[in-house]
Structure 1
């Protein structure tokens, strides 16, 4: 059997997870959600408490796609670890820096008109530098935008995977795959139970590794061994400490294997809107907070006490987030920026952020 590394199933899953993350943040960051809450209190509470679980879907998909590009047969197929990590940094950091710059500007615009906890404070030099270098949580600086911690974790997980494969170059595939299993066990059974480690890759590696195992299960002539390993790792993790995030990661990994091995789905073109959203999900994820800030400020100023109009404002913020994400994807992300370009944009983020702080 022949399997493509990228499939409409992947894009549909990313699209659904992206939409859920945006709605989680719309429910989490007011004031529109505060005013609209009486219209659908149960839905708002669910989005507030559980919408963030969609991050586990991205972690599993990230591991699946990472191993597809780095070591599909269990052996590193890249030549230089440093070059692979630098390419990843460039692809992540340029749209990231552009989106953070937009957030700094949006926050400066709304700060005089909206006194709300969701509005970021004026950025400091240390905060700007830490965010630009994806180090904000590690060095104890506040994030400039919602959800940017995930970008730092994604980069850490990719770099960790590259270093793992590079260190085992020349060894049999089973050795490297066994290392992934051991890393998943350590993460799921130990590190993921330590909240103080949630700014490090080891905390999330279990979900990422489940995505890697799902890839190998999809490619295997018989997936039973990989499925058993996934079930054992997840089952023991849940027996030690039941965590909803581990359940979501496990279900995502098993669903990937079932769907991507299904003969009739191999030629499925997917649902076009969700496929397109999945393809640009990273850009939407990055830019939606600045859009939501602006819409929150406008709606709360014009209609501060209307639940219906604030609910419509949330719908509008979602639609505008998709539109803004599409522009960021078309104009920046899909061009595959290099790491020197990323450093230029990061320097621009720091410089403009300081200028904004001085002028406001």
Structure 2
């Protein structure tokens, strides 16, 4: 890295736009070591890096190497052997002693090959040099489950089927996720975006030159994954129901955690997390999302899952059974219905519906399934 860049990075009193900040220093310091382990970070972390916009009239935010990550606990990279896009996550063994262990547990056979397994794959766990507490967990690079937006009711139903199945699978193996909120539900968009996309500005191509083109989920069915096992715990079968002090994840609304530190069973809390995710993302809307029209059939199931009394919530066995009943009652026409969000304008709705009506006709003629399940 050039002297000017080093000075810009290390300066706390005068930060230069586009230059790496303090949170990125770890990745700069470990660039060469990670390359030796088989992974290459983006050019902005390479030793000797010089900003591509220096000496030009181009603003840093239009340059690929001028894009800062939204957070630096995890970093995107490429696997040297095949160019696959990966994410490398820093994990403190002291703070999250079971994260790597539980992740690897679900990556061992026969669990890894079980089609119900929706836990994010772990490619490798690296021991950081010079820090015995720090592990680097290498995973596939995934995308937020709702980006791009869902186009049909059937796409949402298939998403819920996979996530219900995934949490059910974890519970069957005596693992409570304990933070299965919208932030920790991801999607493999490899087939959806055959040309790829930028790891930070995910709506753009990797060089930021243009919008990243993508298919719909109906055209290219995707797999969804539960991620981040930092708060997860595995129990012995004889321990159920276990009792754990409250651990507050991203969702702070859990009723049994309100003004209480009484140990409780984490499995009903998982059911609440998932039910509240559906409520805030789809059926009612929340602070960062808006209601989706046409999903009223989910409300009775969601109401059960978010019941204030955890003892009255359904188990994931019950959730799967109730959901299967609901799904069986949906006609192909309903599943192919175009999704409209409550905050869509009339003009947005018209143009999106017009574009979809043409695709829908093609789907019907080609007998494309309204529930886009990946093979």
On whether the aligned pair clears a TM of 0.5, the verdict is no
- The structure with more strand, counted as a fraction of residues: 2
Higher relative contact order by CA 8 Å / sep ≥ 6: 1 or 2?
1
TM-score bracket relative to the smaller structure: under 0.3
**TM-score, length basis structure 2:** 0.27
- The structure with more helix, counted as a fraction of residues: 1
**TM-score, length basis structure 1:** 0.27
- Specify the structure having the higher radius of gyration (Cα): 2
